[in-house]
A and B are shown apart, each in its own frame.
Chain A
Amino acid sequence: MEFVATQIAGFWGSFIGLASDPITYVYLIASVFLGIVFGALPGLTATLAVTILTGFFGNKFPLEHSLIALIGAYVGAIYGGSYPSILLNIPGTAASAATAMDGYPLTKQGRGGEALGITTTASFLGTLFGTLCLLIFVWVLLAVSKNIASPEKALLALFGILLSGTLMSQDLVIKGWIAGLIGLAMAMVGLDPILSESRYTFGWSYLLSGFQVVPVLMGAFAIPQIMDGLRATVMVAQVPQLGRIVPKFREVLRRMPAITRSGAIGTGVGALPGVGEDVAGWVSYGVGKASSKESKLFGKGSIDGLISAEAANNAAIGGALIPLLVLGIPGSPPAAALLGALKINNVIPGPTIDPALILHVVAILVLASLTMFIMGLFTARIFITILRIPQTVFLPVVMVLTTIGSFSVGGGINDLFLMIAVGLVAYTMNVMQYPIAPLVIGVILGGLFDETFRRSLLISDGDMSVFVSRPGAAILLALNVLLILSQIPAVKNGFRRLTGKKEPVA
């Protein structure tokens, strides 16, 4: 009880500090607006919004202010993706793909305004739910993480990459793993973290410091979007009539069980290393379909279906920040961009993180979700107008933004060369259906994996049993092995035979 009271008091102090500073609102309103625009425009993503802002804010602004802008854009973009999903049946972001399943049928029934209103409310409550979980679990996990040593860290980083590769792959799972390995390989470039031995620099001094996070993120997420999106576009002729957007209070109260369930699922999935909001939306939609009273309406215009997707993808934000703040392992691709911002400000997430920073993040999340809620309900028509901008107009502008953002962080032209090279590789990988998220997670966690894996062996004098002798490490090793085995067809078939289940028809 004392713990809860301390948490609430700490959060309240941080919240009041932020809310009483006028500059907070300048950053918050601008960033949430920008985030919603990025989310609403198909072809732009939440990750891109956070990455571009990381480039702009870099390390020249106080971290407290940068975080307001980055988290505001993150919250806004995840929510903003619902606009084109509901009104045009085009998901603005991958996270809102499940939203289109019921959002667009509702629009066709002339209930677009109602769908937007309930989506805004569900997103707001979902974000608050995720934030509450962040406030509670981050401290529990921080207490646990004090017992996490190098072997556990190495295996957890590996698990994050493997899990991301497994869940984010749309084609063969092996492609997700390959993407993760390419990311890990990229992280090996430069001076190694223990002996300072130079690796794969080919005599180019720029590579001694390794691949910089921001140019890699910009290259991986912006360049493929630009290359893929620049094709003949048909302008959106007319956005359908909406009607009343502000939802009825009684209706929101009636939907609270669905919002709470989806918030819990979203937070849980978001907390898995490297997975993210899109998986959270689909998992919650699937669970909602199985458990909702109106499951027969799912896919035909169910409000419960809409809530399942939207409350979950926004709740995943709080979830994704839990492993980020506790272990330095991002829970989603936008969280990876946030980690980049923390890194360039010399903040090392983990057991030694400043507790005030965590409370600051929680307070920003609450304020950002409030801003999103108010903007979503009362200025929705502005965002609907923005939907009419064709992507062939805004993508070239994004290219210029990306270039100047990437240049500004490092201040060197080499960062731009790196960005375009990574971008071309990422585009090729997109065409070949390799997921990009595991690559980015690999780049970010590669250094941590290399250092902690070798340190574990160094401590144990090369004895591999260090990875099984500690209970935490043994569990994580088992999870890694099980994850790999679960994807091998022979093992899958053997398991099916054991459980007496029939092989699914292809």
Chain B
Amino acid sequence: MADTLVMRRRDFWTALVLIVVSVFFLYQTSLIPFFDASAAGVQGAWYNSAGLVPFGIFSALLLLAIVLLFIAIRSTGMSGLASPRALGFTTTESERLICISAILASFIFCLVPRVDFIAASALLITALIWGFHSGDRIAMRISAISVTIAGLYALIAHFPRSEWTKAHDDDVVTLLSFACLTGIMFIRTARLDKIDRVVKLTPVIAIITPLLLVIAMAFGFRQNVPNRQGLLFSQIEYHYYVSLKPLWSGR
């Protein structure tokens, strides 16, 4: 019952968000020609309009959101709607989510487009394993900060798309961040407790996984990989085609 009440309180807010979203998209849909739909010189009618189905979808979404709001108000009696605790959110869980979101957002939006994929992935894997395996909140914060710093540097130093693949200073910063994080991980774990197998294996997993994956994807599966001009991958690619391939092709 308590869980249901918490869920209905959350539903109140999601219903409000859904109402705003559906009204916004209904407005956007109204910009699509409806009664005088035409394309490629062919005059259409309302039933041919590109806005017909979206209009139905967003109207239905608005209707269901209103029904959800009504259910939420009836179940909660509008009590505890503004209290994070009554909504079932705890400080620990919120902090965990903020840290994960910061790490993932920095990785995808800042590091992957600009930084060597092996270096960025090594930093990500170390941060996620050490930051969340033991439940140590300090480790979680340090992990989030180290990925965010590397991400912010790459973002600020090489913001425009034209600079994404040029200089390698952001690759170096990311590698340094990875080295520092690994060092801190060992020092802190040794101080708190005995260094366990997971901590010992983390740097190995962090380096080997993206390395093998990128090599397999680029040269085995012949697929595209992110940031081919990155500090490490450009060297691998160069030596694959210049040093290794001639060896087995007999040239």
Contacts and interface: CB of A to CB of B under 8 A. Distances in A.
Contacts of A178: 18, 61, 64-65, 68
A192 B50 contact: yes
Contact of A181 (B49, B57, B133): B57
A223 B67 CA distance: 29
B64 A181 contact: yes
Nearest to A450: B53
B96 A396 contact: no
A449 B214 contact: no
B234 interface: no
B52 A454 contact: yes
B45 interface: yes
Interface string A427-458: 00001110000000000000001100110011
B97 A227 contact: yes
Q: Say whether chain B's binding surface is mostly helix, strand, loop, or mixed.
A: helix
Interface in A150-196: 171-172, 174-175, 177-178, 181-182, 184-185, 188, 192, 194-196
Given A199-B32, A232-B135, A420-B109, A393 B48 contact: no
Contacts of B46: 462
Interface in B90-127: 96-97, 100-101, 104-105, 107-109, 112-113, 117, 121, 124-125
A399 B104 contact: yes
B226 A174 contact: no
B217 A56 contact: yes
Given A172-B68, A432-B11, A390 B198 contact: yes
Contacts of B132: 230-232, 392
Interface residues of A, number: 62
A56 B224 CA distance: 10
A424 interface: yes
Most B CB contacts (10 A, CB to CB) among A184, A230, A396 go to: A396
Interface stretch (B170-178, B205-213, B241-249): B205-213
Nearest to B18: A178
A192 to B, nearest CB: 4
B221 A395 contact: no
Interface stretch (A2-10, A13-21, A302-310, A404-412): A404-412
Nearest to A488: B67
B222 interface: yes
A413 B104 contact: no
A470 B108 CA distance: 50
A395 B10 CA distance: 28
A400 B209 contact: yes
A366 to B, nearest CB: 27
Contacts of B113: 413
Contact of A188 (B49, B53, B131, B205): B53
B84 interface: no
Contact of B205 (A393, A411, A424): A393
Contact of B223 (A392, A408, A453, A462): A408
Q: Which of B18, B96, B101, B108 has the most CB of A within 10 A?
A: B108
B39 A197 contact: yes
B124 A400 contact: yes
A457 B18 CA distance: 29
B87 to A, nearest CB: 11
Interface string B41-63: 00011111111111001101100
B69 to A, nearest CB: 11
A358 B207 CA distance: 42
B64 A174 contact: yes
B251 to A, nearest CB: 26
A396 B129 contact: yes
A196 B41 CA distance: 12
B79 interface: no
A411 B224 contact: yes
B54 A188 contact: yes
Contact of B213 (A194, A195, A401, A411): A401
Contacts of A56: 217, 221, 223
Contacts of B213: 400-401, 404
Contacts of A199: 32, 50-51, 54
A406 to B, nearest CB: 10
A331 interface: no
A368 to B, nearest CB: 21
Contacts of A174: 64, 67-68, 71
A233 interface: yes
A390 B40 CA distance: 58
Contacts of A185: 25, 54, 57-58, 61
A172 B71 contact: yes
B205 A223 contact: no
Contact of B47 (A200, A232, A403, A458): A458
A424 B223 contact: no
B129 A171 contact: no
A6 to B, nearest CB: 37
A236 B234 CA distance: 41
A406 B129 CA distance: 22
A181 B96 contact: no
Contacts of A60: 221-223
Contacts of A206: none
Nearest to B122: A400
Given A56-B223, A233-B133, A393-B201, 13 more contacts: A56-B217, A177-B64, A178-B18, A182-B61, A197-B32, A231-B135, A392-B133, A393-B133, A396-B128, A397-B209, A420-B109, A432-B11, A449-B53
10 A-B pairs closest in CB distance: A232-B135, A457-B47, A197-B50, A396-B128, A195-B39, A192-B50, A408-B223, A392-B133, A462-B47, A230-B132
Interface of B: 7, 10-11, 14, 18, 25, 28, 32-33, 37-40, 44-54, 57-58, 60-61, 64-65, 67-68, 71, 96-97, 100-101, 104-105, 107-109, 112-113, 117, 121, 124-125, 128-129, 131-135, 198, 201, 205, 209-210, 213-214, 217, 221-226
21 contacts: A61-B221, A174-B71, A178-B18, A178-B68, A185-B58, A192-B50, A195-B50, A197-B33, A223-B104, A227-B100, A230-B132, A231-B132, A232-B133, A392-B132, A400-B121, A400-B124, A400-B209, A407-B225, A417-B109, A419-B108, A432-B14
